[in-house]
Amino acid sequence: MTDFIHEFVRGKSERTLLLLHGTGGNERDLIPIGRELDPDASLLSPRGKTLENGRPRFFRRLAEGVFDLEDLRNRTSELADFVSSAAQHYEIDGQKIVAAGYSNGANIAAGMLLLRPEILSAAILFRAMVPLVPETTPDLTARRILISEGDHDPIVSAAEAGRLAGLLRNAGADVTIRFFPSGHGLTSDDVDLAREWLSKLE
């Protein structure tokens, strides 16, 4: 298996939540939220390998919201390879992997949808932006995606969030986008919405 520091918690159902933390987080951050989102799913939670002033991220950025696209492409592919080898290693169903990412983790999850669409069957993107515009439009038919944003987010504007929803819809995904009266931080409203949305997913 490719080397990502990670946590794996085996669940009772066939679904696995791929938990992707925000900048400065680690593999343990989203485990409690993952359990709240789905008490029965397995949880796979890697730690981002890029360090920004010692703070883990999933890919490099040049400035706030300005991404190093070459690094983003390479890191997306590396993470996608890790997820598929982890699926084999832990004998989980590779067709039932749902990403749940926050901020930088949501951005690499969106990157995976756009560049390696075979990895994820669905995704929950908390406070996500457009990571990149792919050269070829992926086929995201039958992929369900929830985008949950904050009205007062100083990092992700409503226009940016709308652009992400448009990009994913244009690729055929079934996208739900919601805004809450909050900032960039995750709130219980986001978690409640995502739990409800996930409970209706096949």
Active site residues: 103, 153, 184
* Contact between 22 and ligand MLT per CB under 6 A: yes
C-alpha neighbours within 13 Å on the C-beta side of residue 173 = 28
* Contact between 155 and ligand MLT per CB under 6 A: yes
* Contact between 64 and ligand MLT per CB under 6 A: yes
Residue identified by tokens 């949880």 is 43
For ligand MLT, which is the closer residue by CB, 22 or 117?
22
* Contact between 62 and ligand MLT per CB under 6 A: no
Q: Which of 42, 76, 107, 148 binds ligand MLT (CB under 6 A)?
A: 107
For ligand MLT, which is the closer residue by CB, 162 or 172?
162
Quick one: DSSP state of residue 47? P
Pairing of strands 6-9, 144-150: unpaired
Q: Which of 70-78, 87-95, 99-107, 113-121 is the region at the interface with ligand MLT (rule: CB under 6 A)?
A: 99-107
Q: Which of 45, 104, 121, 148 binds ligand MLT (CB under 6 A)?
A: 104
Rounded Cα–Cα distance for residues 181 and 153 (Å):
9
Spell out the residues 6+ positions from residue 87 whose beta carbon is closer than 8 angstroms to its own: 16, 93, 94, 97
**72-91 mask for ligand MLT (x: CB under 6 A)?**
--------------------
Rounded Cα–Cα distance for residues 13 and 96 (Å):
10
What's phi and psi for 98, nearest 5 deg? -115, 120
Q: Which of 16, 20, 21, 23 binds ligand MLT (CB under 6 A)?
A: 23
Q: Which of 40-48, 101-109, 143-151, 164-172 is the region at the interface with ligand MLT (rule: CB under 6 A)?
A: 101-109
- Side by side, the strands of the sheet bearing 122-126 are 6-9, 42-46, 16-20, 97-102, 122-126, 144-150, 174-180
Q: Which residues bind ligand MLT (CB under 6 A)?
A: 22-23, 61, 64-65, 103-104, 107, 155
